[in-house]
């Protein structure tokens, strides 16, 4: 936005304010109560906690439809599931929607997406460049992300399947960092969305790295305890 500053000799145009970059990170099925510092939470995650406190953490946001595809449809389009048709999982977001990626791209931003997508309908087919990418130019979407050590992504240009080794969340983060490095010194603002799949279950993949230490001072959230007892008929 250009701002004119009035002086005694007339109006002088100020330097246009540089538009901010945007990095939006979200994880799947990660309740706020699962983060360090929340009541009844004894998790130790100093890096995640520091990242959260150093940036803008939306602590009072809720999902209007806490199911994967419907929520992602809301996030992308700003519209209710009954308006987009995404009322359950494995439904494709129509390419005619005015998505957040298109809005930022059309506003002059360099747009990117890394991680879980779950907006292409059924199947895990490669999504080529075009309207189904919903305005995202740098494209690193992952498939079969619930298999945290055995998921895959695609070459964004050729569609060749790429199966990195290791924890997919770490590799997704590496891809995001690489994209940000490419924007270093750029005059064009950027918007990057990073969608981690963990802590979405199953957790069986974590067994080989789990700690054998027993929690001797664990305090359960009273609400969780009462719900668990009700479920077991106590």
- Give me the active site residues, please: 68, 118
Q: What are the start-end ranges of the E strands in 50-109?
A: none
**Are the C-beta atoms of residues 120 and 132 closer than 8 Å to each other?**
yes
Q: Token pair for residue 159?
A: 């569609």
E strand or H helix that includes residue 143: strand 138-143
Kind and range of the H or E element at 73?
A: helix 68-77
C-alpha torsion sign, points 212, 218, 223, 229 = positive
Beta-sheet pairing, 138-143 with 152-154: antiparallel
């Amino acid at each position: 936005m250009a701002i004119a500053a009035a002086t005694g000799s007339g109006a002088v145009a100020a330097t246009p304010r540089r538009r901010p970059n945007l990095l939006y990170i979200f994880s799947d099925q990660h309740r706020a109560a699962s983060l360090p510092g929340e009541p009844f939470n004894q998790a130790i995650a100093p890096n995640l906690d520091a990242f959260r406190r150093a940036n803008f953490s939306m602590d009072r946001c809720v999902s209007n439809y806490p199911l994967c595809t419907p929520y992602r449809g809301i996030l992308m389009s700003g519209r209710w599931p009954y308006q987009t048709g995404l009322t359950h999982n494995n439904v494709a977001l129509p390419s005619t929607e005015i998505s957040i990626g298109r809005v930022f791209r059309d506003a002059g931003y360099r747009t990117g997406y890394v991680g879980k997508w779950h907006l292409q309908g059924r199947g895990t087919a490669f999504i080529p460049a075009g309207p189904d990418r919903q305005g995202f130019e740098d494209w690193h979407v992952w498939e079969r992300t619930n298999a945290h050590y055995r998921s895959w992504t695609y070459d964004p240009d050729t569609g060749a399947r790429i199966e990195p080794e290791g924890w997919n969340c770490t590799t997704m983060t590496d891809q995001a960092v690489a994209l940000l490095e490419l924007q270093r010194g750029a005059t064009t603002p950027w918007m990057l969305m990073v969608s981690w799949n963990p802590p979405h279950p199953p957790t069986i993949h974590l067994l080989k790295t789990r700690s054998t230490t027993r929690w001797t001072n664990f305090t359960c959230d009273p609400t969780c305890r009462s719900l668990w007892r009700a479920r077991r008929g106590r």
